[in-house]
């Protein structure tokens, strides 16, 4: 196996399949001073596989956790490459979440990769086919979703595409209002500022903001803001926030529809909604509201291979797996690999 560091952005981006593996995303991670390495695997002198992974210091130890999200198939070649990389970089383990959908194909995963008890990405996702006409896309939506879009239009909600600093501040405010309201732990402010700055400069990020002007006022209120990313033929919806004001005007529904139309206008083929629950989603699940909202747009529910760990220091790995089951540590471990 011929494993080499990657220095050619064009060569690298040609082979990756997800925005999180893009060269530009790696530059964003570098801007946060997160250690990151890019590699290529060559066969007979020809580049066959590329990937980048980040390294996160495990507190109170001299070891690191490696993280390779949305990368290639975890085959024998990748196992050999990551074993070498992990040992060279003093890793206790490397976590992988391949960008590989489960279709009708049988995959042979080397037993060096262990199914992980701690996923970061969801195993399921909604993917919408943007090559369909607007009429077909509307037809495939849940009737309630179509109705809510019409409600927003009837109320005069306006959705604007923005890339300016003022719009980003609106987005940031709505994002943190939402994380506080929903009680989940999102990325910090610096993370969002850096991802926006890096990808916007690369023409890979834009904002959609929904404004509503109540009849008694002259200043439109921003009710919903989404950050959208684009890479190759795909539009991604990773982050968003909304206000609790004027919930009855259904601003979020219109933002999603305008995102779909924007993706079509950009000539993209897929709209990746970034995550979902499984086919047997329960209404008692705290993420059911997000799942149901996305489901209403008629996308295909796809299943990925899941999460695997390549382990080098079993005692440390087992220790962290055990304490992860203790509630106070859950947020800590999640932040370790996502910060």
> Residues 27, 117: one domain?
yes
CATH number of domain containing 85: 3.40.630.30
pLDDT at 337: 65
Half-sphere exposure of 224 (CA within 13 A, CB side): 22
What confidence category does residue 298 fall into, taking pLDDT thresholds of 50, 70 and 90? very high
201: pLDDT strictly greater than 80:
yes
pLDDT at 331: 54
> Residues 115, 138: one domain?
no
pLDDT at 104: 72
Residue pLDDT, tens place only, 103-114: 877 788 999 999
> Residues 266, 313: one domain?
no
> Residues 97, 30: one domain?
yes
> Residues 290, 317: one domain?
no
Residue pLDDT, tens place only, 32-75: 999 999 999 999 999 999 999 999 999 889 999 999 999 999 99
Give the list of residues 6+ apart from residue 185 with CB closer than 8 angstroms, or none. Answer: 179, 331, 334, 335
Percent of the chain having pLDDT more than 70?
A: 95
Number of domains in the chain: 2
Residue 307: name the closest of 292, 297, 288, 321 by CA: 321
> Residues 68, 150: one domain?
no
- pTM, two decimals, is 0.95
CB 301 within 8 A of CB 129: no
> Residues 156, 233: one domain?
yes
pLDDT at 333: 57
> Residues 309, 274: one domain?
no
Full residue range of the structural domain in which residue 102 is found: 2-121+305-338
CB 209 within 8 A of CB 160: yes
> Residues 169, 293: one domain?
yes
> Residues 166, 75: one domain?
no
CB 297 within 8 A of CB 261: no
Q: Of 155-164, 213-222, 254-263, 291-300, where does mean pLDDT reach its minimum?
A: 213-222
Terminal-to-terminal C-alpha distance of the chain: 32
Rg (CA), the chain: 21
> Residues 263, 131: one domain?
yes
Residue pLDDT, tens place only, 318-337: 988 887 776 545 555 556 66
**298 phi/psi in degrees, rounded to 5:** 80, 15
**34 phi/psi in degrees, rounded to 5:** -85, 125
pLDDT at 338: 62
> Residues 97, 129: one domain?
no
In this prediction, residues 223-232 reach a mean pLDDT of 98
In this prediction, residues 217-242 reach a mean pLDDT of 95
Q: What are the tokens at 123?
A: 């195993």
Where does the chain have alpha helices with state H?
9-15, 23-31, 76-88, 134-140, 143-154, 165-182, 189-201, 251-265, 288-295, 314-323, 327-338
């Amino acid at each position: 196996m011929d494993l080499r560091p990657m220095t050619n952005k064009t060569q690298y981006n040609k082979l990756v399949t997800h925005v999180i593996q893009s060269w530009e995303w790696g530059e964003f991670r570098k801007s946060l001073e997160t250690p990151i390495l890019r590699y290529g695997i060559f066969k007979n002198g020809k580049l066959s596989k590329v990937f980048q992974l980040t390294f996160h210091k495990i507190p109170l130890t001299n070891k690191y956790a490696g993280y390779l999200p949305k990368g290639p198939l975890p085959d024998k070649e990748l196992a050999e490459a990551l074993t070498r990389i992990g040992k060279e970089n003093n890793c206790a383990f490397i976590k992988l979440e391949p960008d590989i959908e489960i279709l009708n194909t049988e995959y042979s995963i080397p037993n060096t990769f262990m199914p992980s008890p701690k996923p970061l990405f969801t195993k399921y996702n909604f993917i919408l086919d943007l090559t369909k006409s607007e009429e077909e896309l509307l037809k495939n939506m849940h009737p309630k979703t179509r109705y809510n879009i019409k409600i927003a239009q009837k109320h005069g909600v306006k959705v604007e595409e923005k890339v300016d600093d003022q719009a980003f501040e609106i987005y940031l405010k709505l994002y943190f209002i939402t994380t506080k309201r929903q009680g989940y732990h999102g990325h910090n402010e610096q993370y969002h500022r850096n991802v926006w700055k890096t990808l916007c400069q690369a023409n890979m990020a834009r904002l959609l903001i929904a404004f509503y002007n109540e009849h008694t006022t002259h200043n439109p209120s921003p009710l919903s803001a989404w950050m959208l990313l684009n890479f190759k033929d795909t539009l991604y919806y990773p982050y968003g926030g909304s206000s609790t004001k004027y919930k009855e005007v259904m601003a979020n529904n219109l933002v999603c529809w305008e995102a779909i139309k924007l993706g079509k206008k950009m000539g993209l083929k897929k709209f990746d909604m970034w995550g979902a629950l499984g086919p047997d989603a329960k209404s008692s699940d705290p993420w059911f509201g997000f799942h149901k909202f996305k489901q209403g747009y008629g996308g295909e529910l796809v299943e990925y291979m899941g999460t695997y760990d390549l382990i080098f220091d079993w005692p440390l790995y087992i220790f962290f797996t055990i304490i992860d089951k203790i509630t106070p540590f859950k947020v800590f471990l999640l932040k370790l690999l996502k910060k």
